[in-house]
Amino acid sequence: MKQLAVFASGSGSNAEHLAVTFAQGDIARVAAIYCNNPKAYVIERAAKLNIPLVLFNRDEFVHAESLVRDLHDRQIDLIVLAGFLWLVPEPLTRAFAGRIVNIHPALLPKFGGKGMYGMAVHQAVLAAGETESGITIHLIDEVYDRGKILLQVSCPVLPDDTPETLADRVHQLEYQHYPGVIEQMLG
C-alpha cells in the first residue's frame, strides 16, 4: 500500500475525492493532508475523513526540514498537490525528485505561471475568448507550472460560460483523471 501526501490551500474538493477514491482500493491511501492556510475548508474535510492534518506556516515550508522529516516519518511515496498555492521550495523538490505531481485547471503552457490559480485562471480563459480549456497534470520542479506534462484533457468553453460554470466543468475532469495518473505514477 503506497502512502500519499495531499497538499491543499483552499476548499480541497480534489483532496477529498482522492481520499475517498483510494480508500475504495488497496493501491494507495491518503496518509495525511498538508495545508498552509489555517482558514482553508480542507481542514474540515480532513477531520470528517479522519485523515491527519499537518498545518504549516511560510517559514516551516520554505526551510522544509521538519516537513521533509514528517513526510519521511509517514513513509510518503508521492506528494500530490491539489489546489496548493505556494511554490514548492528546493529542499522539498530535492527530497521528492520526480515524486511531486500537480494539477492545473487549464491547458498549460497557456494560463499558467504566477497568479494563475483558482478563478483567475477561468476568468483569463474566458477573457481570451478560448473555445476550449481543460486540465494539465504535471510533475513539479522549482518553476511554477513548468514540470513534465503527464496528461492533458480538454473540455469545451461554452458561449454562456461564467468562470463558475467553467470551473465546475474543469473540476469534473480533475476528479475523473487525477486518481488514474497518480495510480500510474505509483506503478
Distance CA 111, CA 107 (A): 7
C-beta of 36: minimal distance to ligand GRF in Å? 13
- Choose between 130 and 174: whose C-beta lies nearer to ligand GRF: 174
Grid cell for residue 173 = 475532469
- Choose between 96 and 144: whose C-beta lies nearer to ligand GRF: 144
- Choose between 1 and 29: whose C-beta lies nearer to ligand GRF: 29
C-beta of 72: minimal distance to ligand GRF in Å? 25
* Cβ 103 vs Cβ 174: under 8 Å: yes
Burial (Cβ within 10 Å: 0-12, 13-18, ≥19) of residue 14: buried
17 flagged as catalytic: no
Taking the CA of residue 139 as centre, how many other CA atoms within 13 Å lie in the half-sphere pointing to its CB? 12
C-beta of 23: minimal distance to ligand GRF in Å? 17
- Choose between 48 and 72: whose C-beta lies nearer to ligand GRF: 48
Identified catalytic residue from 63, 72, 104, 122: 104
Query: Where do contacts with ligand GRF occur on this chain (CB under 6 A)?
Result: 8, 10-14, 82-83, 103-105, 117-118, 170-171, 174
| Closest residue to bound ligand GRF by CB | 83
C-beta of 15: minimal distance to ligand GRF in Å? 6
CA separation, residue 28 to residues 55, 66, 76, 144 (Å): 22, 24, 10, 27
* Cβ 186 vs Cβ 25: under 8 Å: no
- The residues carrying an active-site annotation are 104
